[in-house]
Amino acid sequence: MTERLYYDDAYLWKFEAEVTACRNGKRPGTWEIALDRSAFYPTSGGQPFDTGMLKWKGGSARVADVEADADGEVWHTADKPLEPGTRVRGEIDGERRTDHMEQHGGEHMLAGALWEKLGGVTIGLHLGQEDSSIDADLPEGRTHLTEEEILLLEDTVNRRIRKDAPIRCWFPEKEELKKLPLRKEPTVKEHVRIVAMGDFEMVACGGTHPASTGRIGLVKIISVTPARGKARITFVCGGRALRMFQTYMKYADKAGAALSCPVAELSRAAAELKYRMAEIQKKANRYETEDLLGQFRAGENREDMPGAALAALTLPEHESKAVAEAVSRYIAEPGKVLLLSVGEKLTFARSADVAIDMNALIKRVARGGGRPDMASGAGIPECIGVARKILMTERYQAAAGKG
Ligand SMILES: [Zn+2]
């Protein structure tokens, strides 16, 4: 069983150890190395593994993964094999570990405050690349938190963090353990390790924690969303919270400059802009509709078909709302037949008093369909000419035959 050096000192980045075993790794070109003692943290309890280096006389290997097996042996996935008995120096990526400790420590503070202030019980921690999340069982099966509750949690947690209370980890004796005011029952029976975050929170945990609450830094909740009947609380801590603040400020400042307003006025300015855009769009649609109607009328031909005005037109892209509005207004007038191609879209329509089946007609020249008075489809502009010819000849002959 590997001696876990991080239990006693979570800031131990460098240590000496001896290789006790070496086996092939899961991927080709990798080996799993066991040491008699290690400060590398193996993935567990939602906290990801450490990375770093193993160095020895005349060589070094990169540690890309760390796992513990059921027997408590810690296996370091390295890019070189090592002979058992080799003395090595382990070096941990302290920046990565510090980040993990900030997120993990923040999670304890958040879970403690959630329990104390809102009666919420947290289940598990997911420490992600960008942010972290905990799922909380809330009273009455609620799956969300109000804005006030989120503020209460953030204020409580950050006030406690600023008190910079010591964080203590230890293995209590059975008698002591029974008396400890733990937030929830330990999931393990033997070798229960306790972490106390000042007087604010006490629970069993085998992870790595900062030395005091102040070293967690800022804790900020990003979102609370329902997840499988629980409330998923997503948050960032420490350096991540600072980076997020920097990013948000950068974009908020840019948006403020673009809208010529202070950041606090952004949502009002954006809502106003959206409203004005909608008004302008409405006006533009009205102009476009009128313009299209004018084009339909100018393109009419009364010689093509007896008793009806035929407009066969190919137009460039137009706002689809304006096209639909113009078409319906056009065929509301009596005696109109419209064969229209706008972009790739075809619309065949006619007035109620004209007896042509537009659905049947469009199916003869393109892909599409619809009602007898209006049909639409997709096709090349040349379809318009073909449809016009059909109407000019067949319809005309039919009408002539009738006469
Ligand atoms: Zn912990």
Residue 229 CA, ligand 1 centroid: distance in Å? 25
**Residues whose CB falls within 8 Å of the CB of residue 134, separated by 6 or more in sequence, listed in order:** 107, 110, 111, 122, 123, 124, 125, 126, 232, 233, 235
Same domain, 84 and 104: no
Residue 49 CA, ligand 1 centroid: distance in Å? 14
**Statement: residue 401 has pLDDT above 50:** no
**Statement: residue 121 has pLDDT above 60:** yes
Per-residue pLDDT band at 37 (split at 50, 70, 90): very high
Q: Is residue 267 part of a domain?
A: no
Same domain, 76 and 102: no
Q: Is residue 266 part of a domain?
A: no
Final residue of a structural domain among 92, 121, 146: 92
Residue 36 CA, ligand 1 centroid: distance in Å? 24
Residue 188 CA, ligand 1 centroid: distance in Å? 14
Q: Is residue 356 part of a domain?
A: yes
Residue 106 CA, ligand 1 centroid: distance in Å? 9
Residue 109 CA, ligand 1 centroid: distance in Å? 10
DSSP state of 392: I
Per-residue pLDDT averaged across 91-110, rounded? 97
Q: Which helix (H) or strand (E) holds 346?
A: strand 345-350
Same domain, 139 and 193: yes
In sign, the C-alpha dihedral spanning 361, 363, 366, 372 is positive
Same domain, 47 and 103: no
Residue 195 CA, ligand 1 centroid: distance in Å? 7
Q: What share of the chain is helix, strand, coil (3-state, %, to 5)?
A: 40, 30, 30
Buried b (16+ CB within 10 A) or exposed e, 7-24: beebebbebebebbebee
Conformation bin of residue 260: beta by default, left when phi > 0, alpha when psi is -120 to 50: left
Nearest partner of 128 among 66, 48, 27, 195, judged by Cα: 48
Residue 204 CA, ligand 1 centroid: distance in Å? 8
Residue 105 CA, ligand 1 centroid: distance in Å? 6
Domain enclosing residue 204, as ranges:
98-255
DSSP state of 85: T
Q: How many C-beta neighbours within 10 Å does residue 2 have?
A: 21
Q: Is residue 28 part of a domain?
A: yes
**Residues whose CB falls within 8 Å of the CB of residue 131, separated by 6 or more in sequence, listed in order:** 222, 234, 235, 236, 240
Q: Is residue 275 part of a domain?
A: no
Same domain, 239 and 383: no
Nearest partner of 124 among 216, 47, 43, 218, judged by Cα: 47
CATH no. for residue 355? 3.10.310.40
Contact 235, 131 (CB under 8 A): yes
User: Which single residue is written with the structure tokens 């060589």?
Assistant: 59
Same domain, 24 and 77: yes
Same domain, 136 and 63: no
What would the pLDDT profile of 134-181 be if each residue is shown by its tens digit? 999 999 999 999 999 999 999 999 999 999 999 999 999 999 999 999
Same domain, 103 and 88: no
Q: What is the pTM of this model?
A: 0.77
Residue 353 CA, ligand 1 centroid: distance in Å? 79
Per-residue pLDDT averaged across 242-256, rounded? 96
Domain count, the chain: 3
CATH no. for residue 174? 3.30.980.10
Residue 201 CA, ligand 1 centroid: distance in Å? 11
CATH no. for residue 58? 2.40.30.130
**Residues whose CB falls within 8 Å of the CB of residue 149, separated by 6 or more in sequence, listed in order:** 117, 118
Residue 223 CA, ligand 1 centroid: distance in Å? 22
Q: Is residue 202 part of a domain?
A: yes
Q: Is residue 352 part of a domain?
A: yes
Same domain, 106 and 246: yes
Same domain, 81 and 132: no
Q: Which helix (H) or strand (E) holds 128?
A: none
Same domain, 334 and 394: yes
Same domain, 355 and 321: yes
